[in-house]
Amino acid sequence: MARAKNKPYQIGACDWSLGITCSPAVFDYAREIGLDGVQLSYNKREDETYLLRPENQQAMREASKRTGVKIASLAIEIINSVPLKALENPQTVNWINGSIDAAKALGVKVVLLAFFSKNDLRNDPAGKKVVIERLKQVAPKAEAKGIVLGIESYLTAKEHLEIIEAVGSPNVQVYYDPRNASDAGNDVYSEIILLGSKGLICEIHLKDNDNMLGQGSLDWPRIKRVLDEVQYRGWAQIEWSVPKGKTIQECYPDNVKYARGVFGQ
């Protein structure tokens, strides 16, 4: 069924962009600025088991219920610095398995897997091969638990499709970030059509790097129209979008307002 043209997207934000990482307190700030949900960091803390422990999961659920702000999804950022693509880091597979368990316990459907910095897959066929094999290891568990693993990277849509097809699981999809795609020189609009028409965009980021959301070079209204064309129904999560010299508190109320204006109608 197509998304009704006047049905709003759910607008969230990444906890790292709100400056309150993996803490129940992030829900209070999210409510204050009018967000529908929060994307929580999984094991960004030195404590790799934080979101696996029942008492911490319960604290997150209680904060969500108290504030009315949803737990939208999880994200594993640490694999940027301890790369999944490196054979010498087998613990990364355990992290993904743990994130699947945490996502299930917290009632969310998507875990973002970040492929930047040391985990960048561009021009790295050997790294892609390792990632494919490791995703094959975790995909059966993701399928059994009903969790989608979303790849966020600078790769083209075609390269994402090649990885997804090699893994062979419907629970490995693309976490699409138009800003990343544009910065990598990719055609955002055709990529959304290619991936979205196959139902392979699990969630999206809204960001304009060092600009306020909507003040960068991306045409967000056009992106919204293309997403509607492919019947995208996931979350829209605001990330970064804080100009130099400005604070999160100065910027995020306006970022949320802009996102509501474009994606909330």
Contacts of 12 (CB under 8 A, 6+ apart): 30, 35, 36, 37, 38, 39, 70, 72, 73, 235, 236, 237, 238
Is 81 within 8 Å of 23 (Cβ atoms)? no
The pTM of the full predicted model, rounded to 2 decimals, is 0.96
Q: What is the 3-state secondary structure (H, E, C) of 81-125?
A: CCCCCCCCCCHHHHHHHHHHHHHHHHCCCEEEEEECHHHCCCCCH
Task: Using a pLDDT cut of 70, give the percent of the chain over it.
Answer: 96
pLDDT tens digits along 138-177: 999 999 999 999 999 999 999 999 999 999 999 999 999 9
Q: Identify any residues that bridge with 43 across adjacent strands, giving them in sequence order.
A: none
The dihedrals phi and psi of 48, each to the nearest 5 degrees, come to: -70, -15
What is the average pLDDT across 191-204?
98
Q: Enumerate the domain spans of the chain.
A: 11-263
Q: Which of 242, 251, 233 is nearest to 7 (CA)?
A: 233
Please give the Cα distance from 262 to 265 (Å, whole number). 7
Please give the Cα distance from 65 to 10 (Å, whole number). 17
Q: Which of 216, 204, 206 is nearest to 243 (CA)?
A: 216
Residue 47's pLDDT band, with cuts at 50, 70 and 90, is confident
pLDDT reading at 46 higher than 80:
no
Q: At 162, is the secondary structure helix, strand, or coil?
A: helix
Which CATH superfamily groups domain 11-263? Answer: Divalent-metal-dependent TIM barrel enzymes (3.20.20.150)
Question: 174: part of which helix (H) or strand (E)?
Answer: strand 172-176
Please give the Cα distance from 160 to 175 (Å, whole number). 10
Is 169 within 8 Å of 139 (Cβ atoms)? yes
pLDDT reading at 22 higher than 70:
yes
pLDDT tens digits along 77-135: 999 999 999 999 999 999 999 999 999 999 999 999 999 999 999 999 999 999 999 99
pLDDT value for 265:
62
Q: Which of 81, 21, 31, 9 is nearest to 252 (CA)?
A: 31
Please give the Cα distance from 37 to 247 (Å, whole number). 21
Q: Which two tokens stand for residue 2?
A: 């197509």
- Packing angle of the helix pair 125-145, 91-106 (nearest 10 deg): 30
Q: Which residue has the tokens 């299930």?
A: 104
